[in-house]
């Protein structure tokens, strides 16, 4: 398509010429396989240029799914902008009336499913994830409305997306108690790095925490190699103190 080539080169003068020469409206060119605005966002158009495109092609609605030829699964214009790290476009689209929740609410509208969708996108950066959480918090006013499900937190532990886990877990703890099973799941998935963070988040005494971790390591079939790995991965002074108390370092026998 001629217009696609012009957009790819970000040639605004030729876009104007194309529009004037063909005398078309957006409904004449957009389809399930093509969208001018999506194409412009993909090509890196600035916000000012996007404003021009919106006015030129008479865009009024920004709550729609982008063409199915662009992504592997259906997604909206605003979320697609986030997936390609165009946070500036997300903010702009919100200012134009785009709803970040569009197509991403469960059947009861009880919690937002956009978080789960984004976690499955392995190319999503931590910065973009932070942006979406802050945007949702500002929109929903109270983080409780997001109702972060446990399976999402476990998925992050499994994927070793530790920064994202900590961000959501800290929000989760505003209205829930610390979950012991996070330790268990981390041990089963060899995510020893997150255990040090969990150790700090858990408000029980250090001795109780270490005893629990070692018991769960033993239940998970942990051996001397696992115990050694745990001992060198976690640098917390309190953890080391009680770890050494309850572990025979010669034979790695758990005395708990």
Structure tokens at 85: 């790290």
* CB 162 within 8 Å of CB 119: no
Judge whether residue 76 has pLDDT over 80.
yes
Give the number of other Cβ atoms within 10 Å of residue 153's Cβ.
Answer: 20
pLDDT at 26 over 80: no
Confidence of residue 62 (pLDDT cuts 50, 70, 90): very high
Query: Which pLDDT belongs to residue 142?
Result: 55
Pinpoint the alpha helices (H) of the chain: 2-8, 12-22, 26-29, 36-42, 47-56, 77-83, 87-95, 114-119, 126-140, 150-159, 162-172, 181-188, 192-201, 206-219, 224-233, 237-246
Indicate the pLDDT class of residue 178, thresholds 50, 70 and 90.
very high
More reliable by pLDDT, 222 or 125 = 125
Mean pLDDT across 70-87: 90
How does residue 96 score in pLDDT terms, banded at 50, 70 and 90? very high
Q: Judge whether residue 204 has pLDDT over 90.
A: yes
Higher local confidence (pLDDT), 191 or 133:
191
Please say if the pLDDT value at position 193 is more than 60.
yes
pLDDT at 179 > cutoff 90: yes
What is the model's pLDDT at position 108? 62
Q: Please state the three-class secondary structure of 197-211 as a single string.
A: HHHHHCCCCHHHHHH
Supply the pLDDT for residue 98. Answer: 94
Tell whether the model's pLDDT for residue 208 goes beyond 80.
Answer: yes
Which range is most confident: 15-24, 142-151, 184-193?
Answer: 184-193
Six-digit token pair at 94? 């919100």
The secondary structure of residue 148, as a DSSP letter, is: -
Buried b (16+ CB within 10 A) or exposed e, 2-37: ebeebbeeeebebbeebbeeeeeebeebbeeebbbb
175 pLDDT band, cuts 50/70/90, is confident
Range from 139-148, 170-179, 186-195, 238-247 carrying the lowest mean pLDDT: 139-148
| pLDDT tens sequence across 115-168 | 888 888 877 889 998 998 888 877 766 555 666 788 889 999 999 999 999 999
2 or 150, higher pLDDT: 150
What's the average model confidence in pLDDT over 10-24? Answer: 79
pTM of the complete model:
0.80
Q: What pLDDT, on the 0 to 100 scale, is given for residue 112? A: 63
Higher-confidence position of 54 and 106 = 54
pLDDT for position 251: 59
């Amino acid at each position: 398509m001629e217009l696609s080539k012009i957009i790819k080169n970000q040639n605004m003068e030729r876009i104007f010429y194309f529009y004037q020469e063909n005398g078309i409206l957006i409904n004449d060119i957009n389809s399930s396989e093509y969208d001018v605005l999506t194409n412009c966002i993909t090509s890196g158009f600035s916000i000012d240029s996007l404003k021009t495109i919106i006015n030129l092609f008479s865009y009024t609605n920004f709550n729609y799914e982008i063409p199915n030829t662009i992504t592997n699964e259906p997604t909206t214009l605003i979320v697609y902008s986030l997936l390609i790290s165009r946070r500036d476009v997300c903010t702009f689209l919100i200012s134009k009336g785009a709803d970040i929740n569009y197509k991403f609410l469960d059947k009861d509208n009880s919690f937002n499913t956009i978080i789960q969708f984004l976690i499955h996108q392995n190319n999503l950066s931590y910065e973009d994830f932070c942006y979406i959480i802050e945007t949702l918090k500002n929109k929903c006013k109270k983080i409780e409305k997001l109702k972060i499900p446990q399976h999402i937190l476990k998925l992050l532990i499994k994927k070793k997306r530790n920064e994202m886990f900590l961000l959501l877990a800290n929000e989760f703890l505003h209205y829930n108690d610390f979950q012991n099973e996070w330790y268990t799941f981390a041990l089963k998935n060899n995510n020893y790095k997150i255990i040090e963070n969990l150790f700090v988040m858990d408000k029980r005494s250090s001795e109780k925490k270490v005893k629990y971790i070692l018991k769960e390591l033993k239940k998970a079939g942990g051996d001397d190699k696992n115990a050694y790995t745990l001992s060198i991965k976690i640098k917390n002074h309190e953890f080391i103190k009680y770890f050494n108390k309850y572990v025979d370092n010669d034979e790695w026998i758990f005395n708990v």
